[in-house]
Amino acid sequence: MLKKFLPDEHVQSILDIHPEMLKKRGIKGLITDLDNTLVAWNEAHMTPELASWFDSFREAGISVMILSNNSERRVKLFSEPAHVPYVHRAKKPMAYGFRRALKEMRLKKDEVVVAGDQIVTDIFGGNQFGVHTILVVPVALNDAWITKINRTVERFILSQMRRRGWLKWEE
């Protein structure tokens, strides 16, 4: 059961994921979380650096979709200026949002990767759904109140993985 929380990859920043590296592996789509993966959970707007990052995927022919448990208002405010499609109220880690994102992207599970900062929602959900997962170091050190609960569970899971020697990165 613990292996379901283990990401396939780990990166310091979402910006460390490049379209060329995904394209070489036959990946056609990236599903990314929003809060604390792209910007801090309390940051409303896209940065110019992220807008350029999204453009690089578009230019490479790789679809990007934001998959967030947040409200439509929150996700739309962030996504709309850069014309990034999204699924709000995704109910991660349940399969509902992942299924919806794949359907909208018109891709299969083996053609996408999921990136996010939370092991309990993004990584566990992606692994359960059967897609390649990338854990991203959170953008901010603080979290919304509900995420603080997840982080407590996450710390325990990470400590168990560390004891088993499964982690291939430093925290």
Q: Determine the residue type at 63.
A: S
Cβ atoms of 151 and 143 closer than 8 Å: yes
Alpha-carbon dihedral sign for residues 136, 142, 146, 149 = positive
Give the percent of the chain with pLDDT over 70.
96
Distances (CA, A) of 123 to 49, 51, 58, 132, 144: 25, 24, 24, 9, 18
Distance between CA 102 and CA 162 in Å, rounded?
32
CATH number of domain containing 85: 3.40.50.1000
Over the stretch 19-48, which tens digit does the pLDDT of each residue have?
Answer: 999 999 999 999 999 999 999 878 888 999
Three-class SS state of 110: helix
Lowest-pLDDT choice from 16-20, 116-120, 163-167? 163-167
Q: Is residue 113 part of a domain?
A: yes
pTM given for the model: 0.89
Cβ atoms of 104 and 31 closer than 8 Å: no
Q: Is residue 169 part of a domain?
A: no
Q: Is residue 170 part of a domain?
A: no
Task: Give every CB contact of residue 48 below 8 A, 6+ residues apart in sequence.
Answer: none
Over the stretch 98-110, which tens digit does the pLDDT of each residue have?
Answer: 999 999 999 999 9
Give the percent of the chain with pLDDT over 90.
73
Domain membership of residue 122 as a residue range = 2-164
pLDDT at residue 143, rounded to an integer = 67
pLDDT at residue 170, rounded to an integer = 60
Cβ atoms of 26 and 111 closer than 8 Å: yes
Domain count, the chain: 1
Q: Is residue 108 part of a domain?
A: yes
Q: Is residue 171 part of a domain?
A: no
Distance between CA 164 and CA 144 in Å, rounded?
30
Q: Which two tokens stand for residue 149?
A: 């609960």
CA-wise closest residue to 98 among 123, 75, 62, 61: 123
pLDDT surpassing 80 at residue 9: yes
Q: What pLDDT band is residue 2 in, cutting at 50, 70 and 90?
A: confident
For residue 114, give the H/E element and its range.
Answer: strand 112-116
Could you count the other beta carbons within 10 Å of the beta carbon of residue 154?
A: 19
pLDDT at residue 103, rounded to an integer = 97
Q: Which two tokens stand for residue 77?
A: 């405010």
